[in-house]
Chain A
């Protein structure tokens, strides 16, 4: 099992203690979406303001474990102001980062290392995959973002 420092990287603790983009946006024009992790009670609420093909603004509230809340904060910082294509690409990259590949179950075989350079600060969450129970915590905000984007675009 990986050492604890792989999970609780300084960037993660920083985002947990000082979360970015906290707050609410007026709805409308913003779209509000909630996500829950029923097993441990993590929750996150996102306010998404889409304008001219961009995620012009994002705010969030929520409570839960350090991984769920830091991941939400890191996500907000990564996707705010980006075009929807860029946001969707980041979502896809993050999903890949959180995927336990079958080779990981095969002791001795090292998985193909994922290139995390394009992820910036989000790379701090790469260690979560070594703690499979926590992947759901890290994914919560991202799954909620995906749901919110799909709801907002169908309105």
Chain B
């Protein structure tokens, strides 16, 4: 049983103890980046204070310790997402964006032919769109989009046609704008039925519910450390071992080779061939601590708490502001996470966010790196509030008070 208490998580996060403009910090931007608990910060401090050395090289004690720390983090990631092939399927990258670039340039460039199709959706972050367009421009593939319906969910009515002849379906676990969660197991079956592989952008979903690549039939999974209570600078690309083994190296340099001669090189075997140069060791250690922390909370308990916060916020936004504040996303909490994209009548999102800042409330204005989706709904930008495992209803109180101020100021 989980002993999850959001108030205790709040106590564990140092940044949530600071004041902003005379108000307690109301952090509602976890979809951009989550705030790390003390356990993560201390794990990285401990690493730098006691164990830091380069990995996979020295034979002295601290080099062995650093290597054990780094490889231990890889094993923790494998357990966290239930990777059937274990740590040998986990590649450390810089972030989700780099993971998708690795996927497109290594798997994509080696396993697709001109005319092959990669299918994404209209609700993807640019990280799961632009690398495929780049592959289109360099290798002549076709990029197709599954549209988003007026209900803010994937419109699968023509999916058979869209998936015909596709090599890959790549979909977000949860929209960073709408909060919509996609049914990964069902989409995986659809992809596999059409002979396509199935990739998931887990950036928004890994910290807010359980992730299980074996259960859901996922072939590739990308995510970032800093969106799951960990540090910036570390991300993951997980791939099924058979797929990873067929993929050529991505970046070249130290650490990724078996041999280098004056006439060429031989890449290393295993995940090492995707990790050129000194990797983000301290960040991997921080990610390991974040995983332990999240596992201690219990992914299902976190998901249930954020669902309740979202239900409460949707109701109170509606009862307080009616049509003056429109939520761009599902209005129920079924298959929906804690992301609330707001369109405030007569107030530009930039101005909304600026007024909220004066109340100590952090929200994100902009297009959220999802321009195809914004265009779909005729918006240039929204003001986005998003919950994390430390969020409480009093965060929603502060949001509503600030929104009232913004509406009054620009009325």
Residues of A within 8 A of B (CB): 1, 3-4, 7-8, 13, 16-17, 39-43, 63-67, 131, 134, 137
User: Is B410 within 8 A of A64, CB to CB?
Assistant: no
Closest to B346 in A: A17
Binds A, one of B60-68, B103-111, B171-179, B348-356: B348-356
Which residue of the partner chain, among B354, B358, B380, B410, contacts A41 with CB atoms under 8 Å?
Answer: B380
Which residue of the partner chain, among A42, A63, A66, A134, contacts B410 with CB atoms under 8 Å?
Answer: A66
User: Is A4 within 8 A of B354, CB to CB?
Assistant: yes
User: Is A40 within 8 A of B349, CB to CB?
Assistant: yes
Closest to B349 in A: A40
Judged by a CB distance under 8 angstroms, whether B365 is at the interface is yes
Q: Which residues of A contact B399 (CB under 8 A)?
A: none
Bound complex: CA of A4 vs CA of B358, how far in Å? 7
Bound complex: CA of A137 vs CA of B381, how far in Å? 14
Judged by a CB distance under 8 angstroms, whether B243 is at the interface is no
Range class of the B interface residue count: 10 to 19
User: Is A40 within 8 A of B354, CB to CB?
Assistant: no
Which residue of the partner chain, among B354, B355, B366, B374, contacts A39 with CB atoms under 8 Å?
Answer: B366
Residues of B within 8 A of A (CB): 21, 348-351, 354-355, 358, 365-367, 374, 380-381, 409-410
Bound complex: CA of A43 vs CA of B365, how far in Å? 16
11 more contacts with CB within 8 A, not counting A41-B366, A65-B350, A137-B350, are A1-B21, A4-B354, A13-B409, A40-B349, A40-B367, A41-B381, A64-B380, A66-B410, A67-B350, A67-B351, A131-B354
Known pairs A4-B354, A39-B366, A41-B367; A16 contacts B349 (CB<8 A)? no
User: Is A134 within 8 A of B350, CB to CB?
Assistant: yes
Q: Which residues of A contact B409 (CB under 8 A)?
A: 8, 13
Q: Which residues of B contact A41 (CB under 8 A)?
A: 366-367, 374, 380-381
* Chain A to chain B: the 9 pairs with minimum beta-carbon distance, closest first: A41-B380, A65-B348, A65-B350, A41-B381, A4-B358, A40-B350, A66-B351, A65-B351, A40-B381
Closest CB of chain B to A93's CB: distance in Å? 25
Question: Could you pull out 30 A-B pairs where Cβ atoms are within 8 angstroms?
Answer: A1-B21, A3-B358, A4-B354, A4-B355, A4-B358, A7-B354, A8-B409, A13-B409, A13-B410, A16-B410, A40-B365, A40-B366, A40-B367, A40-B381, A41-B367, A41-B380, A42-B350, A63-B380, A64-B348, A64-B350, A64-B380, A65-B349, A65-B350, A66-B348, A66-B410, A67-B350, A67-B351, A131-B354, A134-B350, A134-B354
Bound complex: CA of A47 vs CA of B348, how far in Å? 24
Q: Which residues of A contact B365 (CB under 8 A)?
A: 40
Bound complex: CA of A8 vs CA of B410, how far in Å? 9
Closest to B380 in A: A41
